[in-house]
Structure 1
Amino acid sequence: MQDKPHEECGVFGIYDYEGLDVAHTAYTALYALQHRGQESCGIAVNDDGIIRAHKDLGLVPDVFQETELNKLGAGQMAVGHVRYSTTGGNTRENAQPLVMKYAKGTIALAHNGNLVNAFELRKQLEQSGAIFQSTNDTEVMAYIVARNRLHTPSIEQAFLETMKTIRGAYSVVLMSPRKLIAARDPQGYRPLCVGQVGKSVVFASETCALDAIGADYVRDVEPGEIVVAEGGRITSIRELCGQKPSQCIFEFIYFARPDSFIGGASVHLARKEAGRCLAKEYPVEADLVVGVPDSGIDAALGYAEESGIPYGLGFIKNRYVGRTFIQPTQIQRARAVRIKLNALRSAVAGKRVVMVDDSIVRGTTSARIVALLREAGATEVHVRISSPPFTNPCYFGTDIDSRDNLIACRMSIPEIRDTISADSLGYLRVEDLAHIVPGLKDGYCAGCFTGRYAVEVPDDVPKDRFERKLSEKKNAVDFRIIKNENGDSDAWPAAGGA
């Protein structure tokens, strides 16, 4: 596990009524969602029931050159996905969208989240004869949808029945030969919104993707809702709506882009409010407030405004190194922070500095960043964290690990302060989480801070073992679901439609 929580995934879908280039539109949207996952990405395009897809390991601009986008061809619908693995390893067969042929035709499915009963469901399916080609929980979901479709009148009804079986977090975009469907779990863990470009309908994990393609925000998909786009009409199934929402609060603290809105609330303003709360709770005499790029900057602005201490640029970030930079040896791990980040000596030398960051997982990165400031001449370094201490794992699409690997489970706050060599350390209080996003009140999940989850989790199994259960069930077969031996994209004709 890295010393920062990783993103989950990002999904996108478009049903075009304007003559747009859906492949290039999906590409642009995924570029805007790249922060949600940098391990793999993919796009599936539907042209009158023929679904062509391309996916691979890597960033969006690396996987999709103009040649790959052109091979996807023209179409009326597209589904896209960027991935960071939580359930299932970082392998090509686990990349999404998942494209599957079954008795009623073909579906393409992109999923953001994590199913807590995926292993149990997968075992049941295997015992009934199912053969899996990947190790992620998205394929489990797709199998159940396909099975339910055989006994229901439509693909949306099949997904409704599937929602009654699966448990956990899922924001899903599903494409059938004739329909584009967006669905969100009844707790609404992960964000999903509806947008519009002219008459065309789009679905996206965050509103920043809508901005990137020139779409207008319409509304969020409600927790438990299924939204169906078909033939110029939008319909909705709300049978499972109305449960107490449990939006992941860490979307506001870290995962989402600051220019996004979730549930109508600004991510940027939520982070600034967290900084304000820190300034009220942990005042200190200092000369400068700096934010650790990127997600610490907004909270640092809030801290500076509330405290009256000037905000300044304290770090220079190397924009050519992604969050998934690999450090295979201890020496390279030690150098990684310097490669990605450097303190601005002219700004911090001789200053008492308040350093604002979003979280501490293991503490190693925080210690190195504090060291950078001291080596650049900072006389004092006071660390403020815009989230509470991580004391529990997340089972809903975030790689916050087992308690054994969380520093706050092994040390007190004074001990953590000494470990990272800070002059003082203050975390956001759990009770302040309700204040940073107006309107959320108790409708959010803070299980990684409190241990209270809205959905029953396998608390008798450590998080790392829980997620390895699926990853260990790997196929030895090189299943080339997207490219053939020549490297060209395959196409699946749809035998009917939902």
Structure 2
Amino acid sequence: MCGIVGVVSHQPVNQLLYDALLLLQHRGQDAAGIATNHSSMFSMHKANGLVRDVFRTRNMRSLMGNSGIGHCRYPTAGSSSEEEAQPFYVNAPFGITLAHNGNLTNWEQLKQDMFKNDRRHINTDSDSEVLLNVLAHEIQKATTGYSLEPSTLFEAVTVLNRRVEGGYAAVAQIADVGLLGFRDPHGIRPLCYGILEGEQGTEYMLASESVALEGAGFRFVRDVLPGEAVFIDAENKLHSRICADNPSLNPCVFEYVYLARPDSVIDGASVYNTRLKMGEYLAEKIKREGLADDIDVVMPIPDSSRPAAIQLALRLGKEYREGFIKNRYIGRTFIMPGQALRKKSVRQKLNAIGDEFKGKNVLLVDDSIVRGTTSREIVQMARDSGAKKVIFASAAPPVLYPNVYGIDMPTRDELIAHGRTVEEVCKEITADALVYQDLDDLKRSISDVNPALTSFEASCFDGKYITGNVSADYLDRIENARHNPKDKGSTGEDAGRTQLNLNYATTEA
């Protein structure tokens, strides 16, 4: 998971890109980068760190031009080299910069093909660089003259979609030609675009989430469709085409559970409203399991579980209270590498208000339980603050399987629900009771908000890989590389995708 943005304007875009990346900071806290196009030249600055730390005044002044792209990178347990910060650049054909969100499941084979057949050298272990070179090669093959027509570009993206497997969304700037955005044929990773009408004409922005558009003053138009490419040419005209043979929409459910901001709309479904629905369905399950009468107060684990907890409390007729205060200057523990660092950060990140817990039976609501480190510490904090009983509820089902499409999931020995019953997980996190959302109810939470959404990428919950090309050997190889980072050949979008050898199922889209 990363944040990507592309802008075509009549004014310098450096500030627009910076502001959009700030709004997408939750999607990646490891590195950030911006590349702009000016007078047939690219200007680029990228480095490890938060957006606010990467860019200084001198960097912003150097980013000249009225079009460009930006990226904020999601930290993983793999490589965090600045060489793999994005955007990436190739000088032929035309000169192209690219920023990518997702993970290519066949990037290793593509890298070999690039070297043996396409005569292209890949300099890092990032699949984003592979994606850029595939795009560049197909553009070069499809181009017959010195200009690049939209139809030629769409032909190149069509071939790219046939060669590339996985979940991906990307923005690419082609020097003096235009801005390109495209999304994988399964619609796993999000991408949308908006416009800004001004005196000088229409300006365009593409971004991972609608919140980036709205925060920059752009009007959200629509999501980029699965397998669709959107191109804004040098004359500021927008062109689009479906560049896939059999596209289907299967958005990642984890975007709605945890990854996206609640004020975003993804594929026609308000993230906030889907989380409210998650709370409603979770409340019904708590009633079915006979736990409602034991609850005095409902509390969220801030921030992403708050909408679910509010609606859950309303449905149960219980008091809703804020028992934990969040330090907003500590990163997300889910995406922090290293168990010790995550455990230490929990109490730095959250502080309990003791009076809200004393003598009460407390229902704690979180968006999900992945490793269990945070959950265990929070349960203990509630007990230390005087809670009589601690019931824990997850707005998502148990995380049982690896994700191979751009979300960093723990290895088998870290994934708390793997190989354990609900009762055993409850014991591990030291709660008095534990309730997980049912997967069907999670999907209904999204479909209720947008009935057009009927199919989802939910492999971390059900083990069904929508691209149909994920083998047990592939999962074994990636898990081995996670445990042995010196063994190259298993890094994804930001290096080091965590996968495991589990019983799994595959399904064709």
TM-score norm. by structure 2 comes to 0.87
Partner of 2:132: 142
**Deviation at residue 49 of structure 1 after TM alignment:** 1.9
Partner of 2:149: none
**Aligned mate of 2:14, from 17, 20, 23:** 23
Query: What whole-Å deviation, never above 9, does each CA across 1:292-323 have from its counterpart, x for those lacking one?
Result: 11111111112111111111111011112122
Counterpart contact for 1:391–1:409, Cα < 8 Å: yes
Return 432-441 or 340-349, whichever deviates more.
432-441
**Matched residues in 2 for 1:470 and 1:314: separation?**
40
**Matched residues in 1 for 2:426 and 2:246: separation?**
43
Secondary structure of the 1:405 match is coil
Greater RCO, CA 8 A, separation 6+: 1
**Aligned mate of 2:458, from 434, 446, 465:** 446
- Residue 113 of structure 2 aligns with an amino acid whose one-letter code is Q
**Matched residues in 2 for 1:303 and 1:30: separation?**
33
Partner of 1:127: 116
Q: 1:468 to 1:403 in 2, by over 3 A?
A: closer
**Deviation at residue 349 of structure 1 after TM alignment:** 1.6
1:174 aligns with 2:172: yes
Q: 1:468 to 1:418 in 2, by over 3 A?
A: closer
**Matched residues in 1 for 2:316 and 2:297: separation?**
10
Partner of 1:487: none
Counterpart contact for 1:394–1:401, Cα < 8 Å: no
Q: 1:292 to 1:440 in 2, by over 3 A?
A: farther
Partner of 2:159: 161
Partner of 2:298: 289
**Deviation at residue 242 of structure 1 after TM alignment:** 4.8
**Matched residues in 1 for 2:416 and 2:215: separation?**
38
Partner of 1:422: 431
**Deviation at residue 411 of structure 1 after TM alignment:** 1.2
1:35 aligns with 2:17: no
Partner of 1:489: none
- Residue 36 of structure 1 aligns with an amino acid whose one-letter code is R
**Which structure 2 residue ranges, 5 or more long, are not aligned?**
144-151, 490-509
**Matched residues in 2 for 1:241 and 1:205: separation?**
23
Partner of 1:11: 4
1:361 aligns with 2:359: no
**Matched residues in 2 for 1:206 and 1:127: separation?**
37
Secondary structure of the 1:240 match is coil
**Deviation at residue 280 of structure 1 after TM alignment:** 0.4
- Residue 189 of structure 2 aligns with an amino acid whose one-letter code is R
Counterpart contact for 1:135–1:470, Cα < 8 Å: no
1:48 aligns with 2:44: no
Q: 1:334 to 1:77 in 2, by over 3 A?
A: closer
**Which structure 1 residue ranges, 5 or more long, are not aligned?**
1-7, 475-498
Query: What whole-Å deviation, never above 9, does each CA across 1:237-277 have from its counterpart, x for those lacking one?
Result: 11416533211011000000000001121101111111111
1:465 aligns with 2:458: no
**Matched residues in 1 for 2:421 and 2:392: separation?**
15
Counterpart contact for 2:371–2:410, Cα < 8 Å: no
1:413 aligns with 2:422: yes
Query: What whole-Å deviation, never above 9, does each CA across 1:127-161 have from its counterpart, x for those lacking one?
Result: 34533222110111111122212210344432222
Q: 1:466 to 1:197 in 2, by over 3 A?
A: farther
Query: What whole-Å deviation, never above 9, does each CA across 1:68-94 have from its counterpart, x for those lacking one?
Result: 111112x12110000115696211010
**Matched residues in 2 for 1:253 and 1:300: separation?**
13
Partner of 1:261: 265
Counterpart contact for 1:195–1:218, Cα < 8 Å: yes
Partner of 1:113: 102
Partner of 2:188: 189
- Residue 188 of structure 2 aligns with an amino acid whose one-letter code is Y
Q: 1:389 to 1:206 in 2, by over 3 A?
A: same
Percent same amino acid at aligned positions?
Answer: 37
**Deviation at residue 469 of structure 1 after TM alignment:** 9.4
- Residue 361 of structure 1 aligns with an amino acid whose one-letter code is V
Partner of 2:255: 251
**Aligned mate of 1:383, from 355, 376, 392:** 392
- Residue 85 of structure 2 aligns with an amino acid whose one-letter code is A
**Matched residues in 2 for 1:281 and 1:403: separation?**
28
Partner of 2:502: none
1:203 aligns with 2:202: no
Query: Aligned Cα RMSD in Å?
Result: 2.1
**Aligned mate of 1:90, from 71, 74, 80:** 80
Return 181-190 or 296-305, whichever deviates more.
296-305
**Matched residues in 1 for 2:203 and 2:87: separation?**
21
Counterpart contact for 1:119–1:470, Cα < 8 Å: no
- Residue 282 of structure 1 aligns with an amino acid whose one-letter code is I
Counterpart contact for 1:79–1:173, Cα < 8 Å: yes
**Matched residues in 1 for 2:272 and 2:353: separation?**
24
TM-score norm. by structure 1 comes to 0.88
- Residue 20 of structure 2 aligns with an amino acid whose one-letter code is A
**Deviation at residue 434 of structure 1 after TM alignment:** 2.4
- Residue 161 of structure 2 aligns with an amino acid whose one-letter code is M
Partner of 2:244: 240
1:79 aligns with 2:57: no
Counterpart contact for 2:395–2:437, Cα < 8 Å: yes
**Matched residues in 2 for 1:113 and 1:67: separation?**
31
Counterpart contact for 2:161–2:243, Cα < 8 Å: no
Return 209-218 or 117-126, whichever deviates more.
117-126
Secondary structure of the 2:130 match is helix
**Matched residues in 2 for 1:197 and 1:341: separation?**
39
Partner of 2:310: 301
1:64 aligns with 2:55: yes
**Matched residues in 2 for 1:427 and 1:442: separation?**
22
